[in-house]
Amino acid sequence: MIAALELVENKAQKKGFDWKKRVGYNIYKLALKKGLLLRPLGNVLYFMPPYVVGKKDIEDIVNGAFHAINEYFGLEV
């Protein structure tokens, strides 16, 4: 199972972040500190949970990614 989240700088224009900013990689590092392993490829964050993942685990993965993204952009939740 694979899920992915694309990070864009401008949603209306579908403009991604400059690759030199390494946004995906920096969010990956923040998530890793929280115990969440993501796979960053450019501006896309991949989630690869096991096939036997439960609902609680999926919620933890999504919440962990959400908090890492908000932390990177300096947003309060």
How far apart CA 23 and CA 68 sit, in angstroms, is: 11
Give residue 1's pLDDT. Answer: 85
Q: What pTM, to 2 d.p., does this model score?
A: 0.89
10-residue block means of pLDDT along the chain (77 residues)? 93 92 97 96 94 94 96 89
Q: Which domains does the chain have, with CATH numbers?
A: 3-72 (3.90.1150.10)
CA–CA separation, 22 vs 48, rounded Å?
20
Amino acid of residue 23: V
Q: Identify the bridge partners of residue 42 per DSSP, sorted by sequence position.
A: none
